[in-house]
């Protein structure tokens, strides 16, 4: 092989490696390969992300998408760094990422919003026989705020801070997920569990068949501060969510939706947003029963805390929707 050909092969090899291992995922004018960061296999985000990947591959010309596992925090990091091009996250997590708050080390300014699918409310579960009426009743009680890294734990920590309550004022803390937390509560080794999800949760429904589960009503002024400071949405958990919940519960929650990297082409994100909402029934079919009624176009801009991508903005404007101030695209 001549020296010129050898040099050419080396150059082409380097370019191929750059293409394969960069987060961009496509060459201009070619097939667009998109990674969609979701959640754990079998979870709501993984199923929803898999649906979006299928819709993009089927409906958006020249695009091919596939889901990857992840989580709210890691998804923001991956989308910002373009290791994934689209990802699920909570609105609060995305806002923390944008502003560089814990657990993020720096502001992640490459994130842009595509749209919301549902609100997941924060709440504190306990056995009704405990008779808790206020946050003061939780002092000295054993509890779980979820696992380290759970968004629910972050919300719980902030709620305690706003209420001037420290962990030292509570009882023993156990850091477990929903199924283990439910088992501990059922066996009365746990007095309450702080959770961010749409009730009823299947693990705690099992507890409810054993002993009535109730939800603590948090003070209105505390909820208002949480909403204003951390971009949370007011939400009503209806009476009957568990057998011990006799009245509607007012709380706050985070939107769960799709975010993307700012460098995705406007026309591509427009087509993705259009395809998403023209095929929203597929998300409804894949969602847990408690989420289904929320997934509709009129809720797409709930929980907007970051600027929309220009392509998503164009789609919503064409639909005549009012764009929240926080969602206005950056120039």
Cβ of 297: how many Cβ atoms within 10 Å?
Answer: 15
| Res. 105: pLDDT tops 80 | yes
The per-residue pLDDT for 295 is 95
Side-chain half-sphere exposure of 273, counting CA atoms within 13 A: 31
Tell me the whole-structure pTM to 2 decimals.
Answer: 0.79
Q: At what angle do helices 220-230 and 151-162 cross, to 10 degrees?
A: 120
- Residue 149: the pLDDT is 76
Q: What is the band of 21 on the pLDDT scale with cuts at 50, 70, 90?
A: very low
Q: What is the DSSP letter of 287?
A: S
User: What pLDDT does 148 receive?
Assistant: 84
Does the pLDDT at position 9 exceed 90?
no
Q: What is the DSSP secondary structure assignment for residue 173, as one 8-state letter?
A: B
The answer to whether 257 touches 117, Cβ cutoff 8 Å, is yes
**Residue 201, pLDDT score:** 87
How much is the pLDDT for 202? Answer: 85
Q: Mind spelling out the 3-state secondary structure of 5-38?
A: HHHHHHHHHHHHHHHHHCCCCCCCCCCEEEEEEC
pLDDT at 4 over 50: no
Q: Assess whether pLDDT exceeds 90 at residue 6.
A: no
CA nearest neighbour of 313 among 114, 46, 75, 30? 114
The pLDDT of residue 29 is 57
As given in the structure block, the two tokens for residue 184 are 């501990």
Answer with the residue of higher pLDDT: 198 or 122.
Answer: 122
Hunting for tokens 């092969």 — which residue is that?
9
Cα–Cα dist 66/244, whole Å: 42
Average pLDDT value for residue range 75-96 = 96
Q: Return d(Cα 239, Cα 55) in angstroms, integer.
A: 36
**Architecture of 31-119+256-327 per CATH?**
3-Layer(aba) Sandwich (3.40)
The whole-angstrom separation of Cα 137 and Cα 300 is 38
Tell me if 31-119+256-327 shares its fold with 121-254. Answer: yes
- Tell me what the pLDDT averaged over the chain comes to: 90
Rounded Cα distance between 86 and 37, Å, is 6
Find where tokens 């306990």 sit.
126
- Cα separation, 96 vs 231, in Å, equals 10
**What count of other Cβ atoms lies within 10 Å of the Cβ of residue 110?**
17
Q: What is the mean pLDDT of residues 66-80?
A: 94
Q: Of 324, 305, 302, nearest to 313 (Cα)?
A: 324
Q: Please answer whether residues 119 and 259 qualify as being in contact, where contact means their C-beta atoms are separated by less than 8 angstroms.
A: no
pLDDT confidence tier of residue 24, bands split at 50, 70 and 90: very low
The SS3 call for residue 291 is coil
Mean pLDDT of 133-137: 97
- Binning pLDDT at 50, 70 and 90, where does residue 137 land? very high
- Answer yes or no: are the C-beta atoms of 108 and 98 closer than 8 Å: yes
Residue 291's pLDDT is 87
Instruction: Please report the pLDDT score of residue 290 as a whole number.
Output: 80
CATH topology of domain 121-254: D-Maltodextrin-Binding Protein; domain 2 (3.40.190)
Over the stretch 152-169, which tens digit does the pLDDT of each residue have?
Answer: 999 999 999 999 999 999
pLDDT at 16: 37
Which sequence spans correspond to the domains of the chain?
A: 31-119+256-327, 121-254
**CA distances, 71 to each of 16, 74, 149, 153 (Å):** 30, 5, 9, 14
Q: What 8-state DSSP symbol labels residue 120? A: E
Provide the pairing of β-strand 233-237 with 249-261. Answer: antiparallel
What integer is the mean pLDDT of 242-255?
96
pLDDT above 70 as % of the chain: 91
CB atoms inside a 10 Å sphere around CB 239: 12
């Amino acid at each position: 092989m001549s020296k010129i050909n050898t040099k050419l092969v080396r150059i082409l090899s380097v370019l191929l490696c750059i293409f394969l291992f960069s987060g961009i995922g496509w060459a201009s004018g070619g097939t667009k390969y998109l990674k969609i960061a979701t959640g754990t296999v079998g979870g709501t985000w993984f199923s929803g992300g898999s649906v979006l990947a299928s819709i993009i591959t089927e409906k958006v010309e020249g695009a091919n998408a596939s889901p990857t596992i992840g989580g709210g925090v890691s998804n923001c990091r991956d989308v910002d760094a373009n290791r994934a091009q689209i990802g699920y996250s909570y609105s609060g997590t995305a806002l923390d990422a944008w502003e560089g708050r814990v657990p993020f080390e720096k502001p992640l300014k490459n994130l842009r919003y595509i749209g919301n699918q549902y609100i997941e409310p924060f709440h504190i579960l306990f056995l009704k026989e405990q008779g808790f009426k206020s946050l003061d009743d939780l002092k000295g009680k054993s509890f779980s705020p979820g696992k380290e890294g759970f968004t629910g734990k972050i919300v719980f920590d902030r709620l305690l801070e706003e209420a001037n309550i420290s962990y030292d004022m509570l009882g023993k803390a156990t850091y477990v997920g929903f199924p283990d937390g439910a088992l501990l509560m059922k066996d009365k080794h746990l007095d309450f569990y702080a959770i961010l999800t749409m009730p009823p949760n299947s693990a705690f429904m099992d507890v409810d068949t054993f002993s009535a589960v109730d939800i603590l009503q948090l003070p209105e002024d505390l909820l208002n501060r949480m909403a204003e400071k951390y971009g949370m949405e007011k939400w009503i958990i209806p009476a009957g969510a568990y057998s011990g919940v006799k009245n509607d519960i007012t709380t706050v929650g985070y939107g769960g939706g799709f975010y993307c990297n700012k460098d995705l082409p406007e026309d591509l994100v427009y087509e993705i947003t259009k395809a998403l909402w023209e095929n929203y029934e597929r998300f409804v079919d894949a969602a847990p029963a408690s989420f289904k009624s929320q997934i509709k176009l009129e809720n797409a801009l709930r929980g907007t805390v970051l600027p929309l991508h220009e392509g998503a903005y164009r789609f919503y404007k064409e639909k005549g929707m009012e764009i929240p101030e926080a969602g206005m695209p950056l120039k």
